[in-house]
Chains A and B, each alone.
Chain A
Amino acid sequence: MAKKRSVIPFGPQHPVLPEPIHLDLMVEDEKVIKAIPSIGFIHRGLESLVRKKDYNEMVYVAERTCGICSFMHGMGYCESVEHIMGVEVPVRARYLRTVWCEMSRIHSHLLWLGLLADGFGFESLFYQCWRIRERILDMVELTTGGRLISSVNKVGGVIRDIEPDMQTAILRAVKEIEKELRVVQKTFMNDYSVESRLKGVGVLTKKEVLELGCTGPFARASGANFDMRVRGYGAYADLDFDPIISPVGDSYARCDVRIQEIFQSIDLIRQALGQLPDGDLSVPVKGNPDGEYFMRVEQPRGEAVYYVRASGKKNLDRLRIRTPTFANLPGLCKTLEGADYADIPLLILTIDPCISCTER
């Protein structure tokens, strides 16, 4: 009997995926043969807004690009403007930025682990992950005043300090997280039911990843050594770490890479707080930026690119943000080809999609 082809629309509102992406899935029986994505449902016009806002005000707009990597968006924007203006950020500010970056990485990855557990129907694991995540969110709130949106960056440094009692609290929290995460890690990595849903699903080779230009843990799980942190922005140049890479390339490896990255972030926080130098939090910035800069930062989902162009006015000429999810969409469509229909939500989850920041 000839196989029947049909097109199934998926999203932008879908029960398993609270992200506004639409996919046209061409399926043959239960197998997907092609996936055509479309985005643009919640476009916010950041690039136009930048021409109307003062470059200092724009920090607060930039960090609201995404609710999860909020801190890193603010930081990426600030660092680009600082590079254009030739501002030397105090060392302490660079260390503090690094600590906050790693704290957001921890909470973002824990969020993703929870969503993944929810995706394959392991509800109690889902809640356990989010319960652990709450610890780091408390620390973010303690140090910045907001659970997700930190608003501590400014052009020239940071606004707030992490005081010694807060450092102790952070260290205590990451210790707890480490302990609880070991248990969760065992579940993710050893449990039979988890394995049956993740192993060998959505395999992407290193060659494909390089061709499609994927980034972040999604690419690193396929053996591509891409980690923008090795560029040494913030205080990463002074810290000791190696990108976590897995050669396997399936959903299981992506999960593994992200769990290990949480441990790595905990280690980085310890290192950064351990050698936190004294000094100012920010330097005064005078005048307007004139020039252009291309900044690359490693967000929890991968490499984000900031292109800023200014011409000596208080408003910038151009701000282009390329978010990691945008780069990972071709990879997603590739993994969807040949996948079972039931695996689709899981596969979409494995790129850790953040469509809201893709749309800007």
Chain B
Amino acid sequence: MSRIMPFAMTMLKNLVSPPVTKNYPESPAVYPERSRGHIEITVDECISCGLCVRSCPTGALEVDKTAGSWTINRFDCIACGYCVEKCPKKCLHMVPGYQEPMMEKSSASYQKSPEVMAAEAAKKAEAAKKAAAARAAREAKKKAEAEAAARAAREISEPAQEASQPAKQARQEVTD
């Protein structure tokens, strides 16, 4: 008997106990905190540096600096979490919950809010203005320096010219 049915007890127990599987999606799945479901972005904090794009092993990400958008092709993403680790602003998060099935491969794009864009544009304009001012100042300084140098050069060469004139004259006198 022990050779034929050692499994009978387990089978009987399994028969009378409720199933171990869940009636998903009626009873929702419980994910642990660390579960690598999908990537989410707090897009307003993103500085469009593109580090995540360069680190992604599958090339699932795209960043457009001028448009202020961050795009992920969720079907290419393997949820490795490398971009999350690399992001300098820590604005990417790996959150539980797997990608839902879709009829078509598509990508999700996240756009920075107009205020943030405006603020960034203002900041950029400010920076540009500052840079322009700095450039202008630098150029003015350069010009002034160049002028000063030229003046100095003239001042050095003019007396020399004056000095050479009598010599020339003298030479002329000799030849005459």
- The distance in angstroms between the C-alpha atoms of A60 and B84, with both chains bound, is 14
A82 to chain B, nearest CB (A): 18
Binds A, one of B28-36, B112-120, B139-147, B154-162: B28-36
B-chain residues with CB within 8 Å of residue A54 when the two chains form the complex: 55
Interface status of B7 (Cβ within 8 A of chain A): yes
A-chain residues with CB within 8 Å of residue B75 when the two chains form the complex: none
B-chain residues with CB within 8 Å of residue A144 when the two chains form the complex: 34
Look across to chain A and name the residue whose beta carbon is closest to the beta carbon of B2.
Answer: A190
Residues of B in contact (CB 8 Å), total 26
- The distance in angstroms between the C-alpha atoms of A142 and B31, with both chains bound, is 8
A-chain residues with CB within 8 Å of residue B50 when the two chains form the complex: none
Contact of A160 with B34 at beta-carbon distance under 8 Å, contacts A124-B11, A146-B79, A190-B6 already known? yes
Contact of A151 with B4 at beta-carbon distance under 8 Å, contacts A124-B14, A145-B36, A145-B94 already known? no
Look across to chain B and name the residue whose beta carbon is closest to the beta carbon of A57.
Answer: B57
Q: Are A57 and B20 in contact (CB under 8 A)?
A: no
Interface secondary structure of A, over-half rule: helix
Interface status of A128 (Cβ within 8 A of chain B): yes
- The distance in angstroms between the C-alpha atoms of A151 and B36, with both chains bound, is 9
- The distance in angstroms between the C-alpha atoms of A192 and B6, with both chains bound, is 10
A-chain residues with CB within 8 Å of residue B32 when the two chains form the complex: 141-142, 145
Interface status of A254 (Cβ within 8 A of chain B): no
A-chain residues with CB within 8 Å of residue B20 when the two chains form the complex: 131, 134
Interface status of B3 (Cβ within 8 A of chain A): yes
B10 to chain A, nearest CB (A): 6
Q: Which of A188-205 contact B (CB under 8 A)?
A: 190-193
- The distance in angstroms between the C-alpha atoms of A159 and B31, with both chains bound, is 19
- The distance in angstroms between the C-alpha atoms of A119 and B167, with both chains bound, is 116
Q: Are B82 and A60 in contact (CB under 8 A)?
A: yes
Q: Are B34 and A60 in contact (CB under 8 A)?
A: no
Interface status of A220 (Cβ within 8 A of chain B): no
Interface status of A311 (Cβ within 8 A of chain B): no
Interface status of B80 (Cβ within 8 A of chain A): yes
